[in-house]
Chain A
């Protein structure tokens, strides 16, 4: 990994990834793709505006001799993106795929950061979802775009055998600077819980998210991997740890007034978080661990990060 291209560097996690990559000794150049230039960035990070034409992207990759691509735009909520309704960038993924797989491309590794939200969540699920488990139905309105984008990356991998494509399915991210949708739920003044449920939850500490991504790019991993910090934790334990006031509520969708509630700061459960807070969700990370990656944080560390988010 010498010259790294980071797509979606405008997201909180993308920005942290770009900076962490630039700090690596063996990395010569980081090219960060984002809509607006940030002049105060790390001196080894070169900013490039997002280019819609894959041929222009390919030309830029050749010019900068890019060997690794990290894509942070597949699952915005896992990148700490707080834009309402931000969905997976399918067209962006197709353009990126077309550029990296083009004949003569210098790229050898493409790491696409996806989400564990691709697994269905209901009362009949196993404790830990594996990478081989079925994903949500493709017609799922909320996640359909993410599935399509993942499928496109897999398709590129099949047709470009010289290119190592790794899809990292990130668990709910928590940590200073990049909190995902579930972490933000626990950051509310009072935290609504679903009455009668105490789900098993699992977070990914932002430090582990960065380390796992760099690990996948450096090792040129191929295939699909779940990423989470060690262990699982019950919601009640997290609430105890964070010393928050919880209000049990009915499992009703807040979809209609979600935008308004967010703006005025009324505690509520978003549609994204509702199934997680009813049935819980956790993933099996043994595949990535077998590849050699050991998470540095456990769920207590993640709960600590949630507490810090509140203070």
Chain B
């Protein structure tokens, strides 16, 4: 019996990026449209599992794809995301998100990816509250859920790598939030200019800066079966505070939303953070 397999997709359904039209469009958006720059990318481990934690924004959030592309280019490693399980019930949608590396957001999947496959997994602990927040909360991190991401990292025995993105909230600026029976709904400048459908897709060309912070590891010699909620919440808050401070710092450094040259000065100023440009 043969031992070889000829599968071009991995067992999670992720397709390795290639040279097709879709990838060319993503490349254009990343390089020319959003002009993404990275700092501190060396904090992302070259080997082994790690949980990448980012701030979430945008009507059609591009942050996940940007982090995925950047890490693939800079570190040569794929990044998986944990997605809302409702996506996978839908025809075509589930297939599409799987192909770009999103897997069902189930603790078992996260642990298997991190511990068994030793992969990088990206999560946005703010969830849907990140993109749907009033203008007064702009660049203010929302609550980090129940600290599930901390438990996932503890159980898998991997570090948490915080990633802070600036510019993503400016791709679809929120003017206000309309309450609806199914949850709040953001009204964006894009929707007013282009209509509700095109406005959900069209993004303004804000310059996006990404900064990776040093990995966070806790000294846990033994992880109990039931981790006290207080530990999870404390640690989640620790990560959130760290990211909020860095987010504020990056906003102070920023010259402008669309033509930000602040990163040009960074090699001298950012000290041990390091910098890598894409």
Contacts and interface: CB of A to CB of B under 8 A. Distances in A.
Interface in B90-107: 90-95, 103-104, 106
Contact of B90 (A196, A298, A300): A196
Interface stretch (B5-13, B191-199, B224-232): B5-13
Given A197-B94, A279-B88, A301-B1, A124 B106 contact: yes
A297 to B, nearest CB: 5
Contact of B7 (A133, A198, A237): A237
B151 to A, nearest CB: 16
Contacts of A55: none
Interface stretch (A20-28, A142-150, A227-235): A227-235
B92 A299 contact: no
B89 interface: yes
A307 to B, nearest CB: 13
A299 B3 CA distance: 9
B1 A234 contact: no
Interface in B111-128: 112
B2 A298 contact: yes
B108 interface: yes
A121 to B, nearest CB: 12
A231 B86 CA distance: 26
B109 A300 contact: no
Contacts, number: 74
A127 B88 contact: no
Contacts of A122: 89
A300 B4 contact: yes
B46 interface: no
Given A126-B112, A128-B112, A300 B88 contact: no
Interface in B1-45: 1-7, 9, 11-13
A233 B6 CA distance: 10
Interface in A238-293: 251, 279
A11 interface: no
A300 B12 CA distance: 17
Contact of B108 (A126, A194, A231): A126
A196 B2 contact: no
Contacts of B3: 298
A125 B106 contact: yes
A123 B86 contact: yes
A198 B12 CA distance: 12
B73 interface: no
A123 B89 contact: yes
Given A126-B104, A126-B106, A195 B1 contact: no
A124 B104 contact: yes
A130 interface: yes
A123 B2 contact: no
Nearest to A198: B95
Query: Which 6 pairs, one residue from A and one from B, show the smallest C-beta to C-beta distance?
Result: A196-B91, A124-B85, A123-B89, A123-B88, A126-B108, A196-B92
Interface of B: 1-7, 9, 11-13, 85-95, 103-104, 106, 108-109, 112
Interface of A: 122-128, 130, 133, 194-198, 200, 231-234, 237, 251, 279, 296-301
16 contacts: A123-B87, A123-B89, A123-B104, A126-B109, A127-B103, A130-B108, A196-B92, A196-B93, A198-B13, A234-B9, A234-B13, A251-B91, A279-B89, A298-B5, A300-B4, A301-B2
